Amino acid sequence: MWLTNRSSVLEMLKSIEWLGDRVRWINTLKIPWEEEVVESGDPERIAQAIERMEIRGAPAIGVAAALAVALVAVRSSAESLEELKSKLLATVERMKRTRPTAVNLYWALRRVESVIKGEYVSTRELREAVVREALSIYEEDIYVNRKMAEIGSKLLDDGDTVLTHCNAGALATVAYGTALGVIRAAWESGKRVKVIATETRPMLQGARLTVWELMKDGIPVKLITDNMVGYVMSRGLVSKVIVGADRVIPPGYVVNKIGTYTIAVLANRHRVPFYVAAPTSTIDYESKIEDIVIEERNPDEVRTVLSKFYVTLPNVEVLNPAFDITPPELVTAIITEKGLVTQPLEESLLRLRKQP
Ligand code: MRU
């Protein structure tokens, strides 16, 4: 009912869509075996989809959480402004508890929260303002990915082989992707790039999602296991690395999918440029690196292959941190929608903050 004008960019693969009184998403847990599309008008169902990783990837969870709050705005029967505000804020709090590491979630929810806390003359006015803000977050994500892709694709040369980790593609955003967006744009501009995708244990986002996306686009991709990175780099098979990020903290720490740090160390050892594609909504100027909560996920993710069978003894103790931290000195540059953040990253990040 309050859909904003849609651009032609939205014709491409979208992992999340707003249907006016429901949200539709691609269940990434089922990819590549099944292309299941789920629809729900229940914000709690969306919270669970984020927790289970049906919807995952830093930008995607931020957008989904904002749309979940918009559902309350559209569907709640609250009659007074006070009652509506309290229902909306309760949903904001619920969504904040879904996953702890990606800052885009909190960034999107903060935006929606500050709209909820504004002054309104009617519930209708508040409802419309909340939906408008959630849809702006949605639309901005598409624009920002396109912009990063345009900027980042200039870093890639014809014939490059780019290694990427996890899935930083359309399935981690609303559409197009961050790291995969850069690769896509280079490919679309005629550069014959190839991709090496790491499988990304334990949830296999690389093997399942990145491979699926790239093969759909006809971009050449080879899959490796995570422990092959050193070998392929030592053989000169990787020209550049591009990954996404869940949080970037000045002076340039990059919090991203577990395994990213190992790849950065190896890239440094083999003098392979290491790029991070991250929108400015992923940059966290407020937190300190020691305060970041690294999500510890269910140990069965490590004990099993996608809950299908055990690869070890069912009662073995495991560690399952979902993210790691790459220090600034290992990062060649960060590609944002406002431009490149180059070394020294700290100065460059501070300059970026002042940029409109
Ligand atoms: O646990 P996930 O699959 O949500 O983790 C996602 C990542 O770490 C991505 O690399 C990151 O969000 C960047 S995506 C644009």
Domain ranges, ordered by start, for the chain = 9-145, 150-354
Q: Is 324 a catalytic residue?
A: no
Counting ligand 1 atoms within 8 A of each CB, the residue from 63, 166, 294 with the most, and so the one to mutate, is 166
| HSE, side-chain direction, 13 A CA sphere, residue 332 | 19
Handedness of CA 175, 177, 182, 188 (dihedral sign): negative
pLDDT value of position 13: 77
Handedness of CA 310, 312, 315, 316 (dihedral sign): negative
Question: Distance, CA 325 to ligand 1 centroid (Å)?
Answer: 13
Q: Does the beta carbon of 322 sit less than 6 angstroms from any atom of ligand 1? A: yes
**CATH 3.40.50.300, applies to 150-354:** no
Q: Does the beta carbon of 57 sit less than 6 angstroms from any atom of ligand 1? A: yes
pLDDT value of position 2: 26
Q: Does the beta carbon of 260 sit less than 6 angstroms from any atom of ligand 1? A: no
Identify the active-site residue in 21, 42, 226, 246: 246
Question: Distance, CA 127 to ligand 1 centroid (Å)?
Answer: 31
Question: Distance, CA 145 to ligand 1 centroid (Å)?
Answer: 14
Alpha carbons 123 and 126: distance in angstroms, whole number = 5
pTM listed for this prediction: 0.95
Q: Which CATH number, 1.10.1740.10, 3.40.50.300, 2.60.40.420, 1.20.120.420, labels domain 9-145?
A: 1.20.120.420
pLDDT value of position 12: 66
Question: Distance, CA 251 to ligand 1 centroid (Å)?
Answer: 21
Q: Whose CA is nearest to atom 5 of ligand 1?
A: 57
Alpha carbons 257 and 134: distance in angstroms, whole number = 26
Q: Which atom of ligand 1 is nearest to the CA of 257?
A: 8
How do the pLDDT tens digits run along the chain, 356 residues long?
Answer: 222 333 333 346 799 999 999 999 999 999 999 999 999 999 999 999 999 999 999 999 999 999 999 999 999 999 999 999 999 999 999 999 999 999 999 999 999 999 999 999 999 999 999 999 999 999 999 999 999 999 999 999 999 999 999 999 999 999 999 999 999 999 999 999 999 999 999 999 999 999 999 999 999 999 999 999 999 999 999 999 999 999 999 999 999 999 999 999 999 999 999 999 999 999 999 999 999 999 999 999 999 999 999 999 999 999 999 999 999 999 999 999 999 999 999 999 999 999 98
Q: Which of 107, 24, 120 is nearest to 78 (CA)?
A: 120
Alpha carbons 303 and 319: distance in angstroms, whole number = 10
Same fold, 9-145 and 150-354: no
Q: Does the beta carbon of 104 sit less than 6 angstroms from any atom of ligand 1? A: no
Q: Does the beta carbon of 56 sit less than 6 angstroms from any atom of ligand 1? A: yes
